[in-house]
Structure 1
Amino acid sequence: MRQLSAFGLLLGLSACASMGRNPAPLAVIDAHTHADFDGKPEAASGILFTREQYLQEMGKAGVVGAVAHTDEYEKGYADLREHGVVHCAGIRDAVDAARLEAGLRSGRYACVKIYLGYVYRYAHDPIYDPVYRLAETYDVPVVFHTGDTYEARGKLKYADPLTIDEVAVDHPKVNFVLAHCGNPWIQSAAEVAYKNPNVYLDSSALLIGRLNELPRETVDEYLVRPLAWVFGYLENPSKLMFGSDWPLSDMASSIEAVKRAIPKQHWRAVFHDNAADVFKIKPSKGPLRN
């Protein structure tokens, strides 16, 4: 943490940097959404899990691109590439390398998601070696679920963000993203990303639900302050990406909450540029149409 004081000074200048300016509306890339639409309301948020609702929220929140996770290779895949959305191929307890390669080669998928904790394997399990080789070959990132699981059957030891350090060291040419900042182990996740140049974090699901309907002190305690600490510890504004985990949370109130954790001069990096670089997203042009 040798550069902490210098970076901390930069964080403190945010209010002054934008005084007297009228900046353009913030264009956002949501680095963590789900698009295996089932047409039902999501229990945590009440959001209708449909393609129409997804595109509507993107438009209202100024989201010009996104990363969409699909649970399995084919389950609920919705081709949203014309809207600046790239898709992650979901990997659980088996790897069909030929099928994955075909999807990466065709552009159907632009990243891979491994559901640690939901699957009882560590990231360094040899079964995933073909995934990392393909990720390097096609220059796509690998996203890991890290931290708390959304179901009681998940086994947390497999989702500990510290376990990603070994994979990051062994595969230095692959970029890895730790979803959810490893929450509640945000300090471990921050250290893994700080130490390894090929590891990034997304801010999704530190809280779920419609965040604007939660008490402000709750959002501050469990999202704003923890995320501000993570951002400061990283000492590198390119390491953190905004994610809502839609439909677990709505996009607009998630954006507003995360803004409170990030100095304004770094909003463009966290809300747009970092995801565009890591996932090679080409944002949609103009307003979205359903």
Structure 2
Amino acid sequence: MNVDDLVAIDVHAHVEIARDGHGSLSPELLGASEAYFKSQAHGQPTIDEMAAYYRERKMAAVVFTVDAEHATGHRRIANEEVAAGCAEHPDVLIPFSSVDPWKGRAGVREARRLVEEYGVRGFKFHPSIQDCAPNDRMAYPLYEVIEELGAVALFHTGQTGIGAGVPGGGGIRLKHSNPMLVDDVAVDFPHLKIILAHPSFPWQDEALAVATHKPTVHIDLSGWSPKYFPPSLVRYSNTLLKEKVLFGSDYPVITPDRWLADFDRLDIKPEVRPKILKDNAARLLGLTPKETDR
């Protein structure tokens, strides 16, 4: 991957369909997500189609699925398939994986194998869908191996469109995605690289506090159009967190085209824009030589 040729790095893109046509979500939860994002029939691009999409735009993307088999009973898309698909497009795709914390020691072994054998650079956690709070000790062996291997832990934070409007929210508990719960993780694993995904409604101030206080905690801006960002998030992105805020779209429910068009109209300092769009992610993901990270 030639980072210099890229205009942006999207750190939050979902693989929603496997090669055999199996979806990452049940039809009920997928329908709720589409209705929430007003993106009905947004499509479920394959990994090859995602690569073509980002390549055309001279962007790279972090891609992953979500493993929530324990809580949902829905079979996941195989991490190996995602990683192998990314390996076919190393110029634009960066593989992350997802391991359900409920899988215990088997999950820890899988995480190690995915990094060591498949080149996975990080892991996506969705506490609400996985029904596991970030600071639940059950997940700690996973964080230990992720920290040891220098990979990234990306946590969904805030409300989720998945399950929205379904009776009982589809069993999904929003409380697990309070970013303050990730503060415990950052304390107990001080060298673990962490991303808090999304503007964390209704806990935006909590997310800003954690990212400001803990050196390894970053924030991605996915899942919202920038025109809806809270003023506090814009202010911190321009100042205290200008080295720790990352472009993310939540593709395919929000496209980079739409996100970037709205970001162009956001009051972000010219010198900060390239940091958010590419430089911060390149440094966090280890895509740039260490001597350029200073």
Q: What's the TM-score, normalizing by structure 2? A: 0.75
1:246 aligns with 2:257: no
Distance 2:112 2:6 in 1: 35
Distance 1:266 1:184 in 2: 26
Deviations 1:74-105 (A, max 9, x none): 16525223233222221223241111111111
Structure 1's unaligned 5+ residue stretches are: 1-23, 208-218, 283-290
SS at match of 1:253: helix
Structure 2's unaligned 5+ residue stretches are: 24-29, 68-76, 164-168, 289-294
Distance 2:280 2:110 in 1: 28
Residue 26 (structure 1) shift: 6.8
1:31 aligns with 2:11: yes
1:118 aligns with 2:129: yes
SS at match of 1:188: helix
Distance 2:209 2:265 in 1: 22
SS at match of 1:117: helix
Residue 61 (structure 1) shift: 3.0
Q: What's the TM-score, normalizing by structure 1? A: 0.76
1:49 aligns with 2:45: yes
Write out aligned runs for 1:1-290 (5 A): 27-38=7-18, 43=34, 44=37, 45=39, 46-63=42-59, 65-72=60-67, 74=78, 77=82, 79-81=85-87, 82-92=90-100, 93-95=102-104, 96-149=107-160, 150-151=162-163, 152-153=169-170, 154-207=172-225, 220=227, 222-223=228-229, 225=231, 227-232=233-238, 235-261=240-266, 262-281=268-287
Tell me, yes or no, if the aligned pair for 2:17 and 2:44 is still in contact at 8 Å: no
Tell me, yes or no, if the aligned pair for 1:89 and 1:113 is still in contact at 8 Å: yes
Tell me, yes or no, if the aligned pair for 1:90 and 1:114 is still in contact at 8 Å: yes
Distance 1:168 1:29 in 2: 24
Residue 181 (structure 1) shift: 3.0
Tell me, yes or no, if the aligned pair for 1:91 and 1:112 is still in contact at 8 Å: yes
Deviations 1:131-152 (A, max 9, x none): 1111121111111111112222
* Identity of matched residues, %: 23
- Superposition RMSD on alpha carbons, in Å? 2.7
Shift in CA distance, 280/36, structure 1 to aligned 2, threshold 3 Å: farther
Tell me, yes or no, if the aligned pair for 1:238 and 1:274 is still in contact at 8 Å: yes
Report the AA paired with residue 191 of structure 1: A
Tell me, yes or no, if the aligned pair for 2:95 and 2:119 is still in contact at 8 Å: yes
Distance 1:25 1:112 in 2: 26
Tell me, yes or no, if the aligned pair for 2:208 and 2:233 is still in contact at 8 Å: no
Report the AA paired with residue 238 of structure 1: E
Deviations 1:216-236 (A, max 9, x none): xxx63x23746413414x613
Which structure would you say has the larger RCO, counting Cα contacts within 8 Å and 6 or more residues apart?
1
SS at match of 2:97: strand
Distance 1:122 1:67 in 2: 23
Distance 2:114 2:5 in 1: 35
Distance 1:62 1:254 in 2: 15
Report the AA paired with residue 29 of structure 1: I
Tell me, yes or no, if the aligned pair for 1:181 and 1:190 is still in contact at 8 Å: no
